[in-house]
Amino acid sequence: MNRRFSWFNATSLTLGFAFLYIPIVILVIYSFNESKLVTVWAGFSTKWYGELIKNEAFLDAAKVTIQVAILSSTFATVLGTMAAYVMVRGGRFMGRTLFTGMIYAPLVMPEVITGLSLLLLFISIGLDRGVTTIVLAHTTFSLCYVSVVVSSRLVSFDRSIEEAALDLGCTPFDAFRSVTLPIIAPAVISGWLLAFTLSLDDLVIASFTSGPSSTTLPIKIFSAVRLGVSPEINALSTIMISIVTVGVITASLISKRSITRRRDEEQKADQ
């Protein structure tokens, strides 16, 4: 069947992308506005980026956000990789369905419910809210994304390579460390980048689990916007958009390179 790209499809695609990205483009443009009024263009200027660097409140929130994102994405990557390995290689065991459902539950669970349940948990065990609680919360909801990415790579993994390493005298741990992990490394890195991006952008769950001295950047931006949008917020949002964009593009390139490499290996094996 010959499917042509009709005018209707082109118009729908253009309107869809315009609806999604024109507001972001406007925000980026007005972050270089000379005027303090965000709706009045008064010329090109980068002074609001300089003012942003001098804003201690935003800088402190940025430090907390980066710290939480690095820690939570690292923990989520380790736990998510372990969970993916159990789901793919664990075979049938008692409670497998429950285990799989608990891993995938945060994917479909509303963030408000997740944040509220974690808040009640921390209160019940007497854990003061701060950086630790935010890291635990972000690890909880982002490890499921890591497990999905890593498990998709393990499903297509050629186990004969691993079996050859075992036949040559490697222990199961050595075979995983020397053979399996390097091959699935692109998926693991992609999972880490995805978890980092999710933690960097989170507002709802962090608002439930943060304390007075552990305000993240999205919470700070949301609080500031309620009093009116300032050019500094536009500059800060532009920086965050750039960081997230770089992370998403990097993850996509790593995944694409992994797929291409796997296809090349399969073609060589067939020959």
pLDDT given at position 8: 80
Give the C-alpha separation, 84 to 46, whole Å: 46
Is residue 217, in this structure, part of any structural domain at all?
A: yes
* Cα-Cα-Cα-Cα dihedral sign, residues 194, 147, 214, 224: positive
Name the amino acid, one letter, at 3.
R
Closest CA to 148 of 108, 199, 204, 201: 108
pLDDT given at position 225: 78
In this predicted model, what pLDDT tens digit does every residue of 195-219 receive, in sequence order? 988 898 888 999 899 887 788 888 8
Contact predicate 244/197, CB 8 Å: yes
Looking up tokens 């024109």 gives 22
pLDDT given at position 67: 92
Neighbours of 258 (CB within 10 A): 18
Is residue 74, in this structure, part of any structural domain at all?
A: yes
CATH code at position 208: 1.10.3720.10
Q: What is the mean pLDDT of the segment spanning 3-11?
A: 74
Is residue 3, in this structure, part of any structural domain at all?
A: no
In this predicted model, what pLDDT tens digit does every residue of 117-165 receive, in sequence order? 999 999 999 888 889 999 999 999 899 999 988 888 888 877 778 778 8
Is residue 33, in this structure, part of any structural domain at all?
A: no
Domains in the chain, number: 1
Is residue 137, in this structure, part of any structural domain at all?
A: yes
pLDDT of 263 > 50? The answer is yes
Domain residues for the domain of 244 are: 47-270
pLDDT of 255 > 80? The answer is no
Contact predicate 217/65, CB 8 Å: yes
Q: Provide DSSP, 3-37.
A: ----HHHHHHHHHHHHHHHHHHHHHHHHTTBSSSS
Is residue 28, in this structure, part of any structural domain at all?
A: no
Is residue 195, in this structure, part of any structural domain at all?
A: yes
In this predicted model, what pLDDT tens digit does every residue of 171-201 receive, in sequence order? 877 888 888 888 888 888 888 988 988 898 8
Contact predicate 159/28, CB 8 Å: no
Instruction: Place 1 in a pLDDT band, splitting at 50, 70 and 90.
Output: very low
Is residue 185, in this structure, part of any structural domain at all?
A: yes
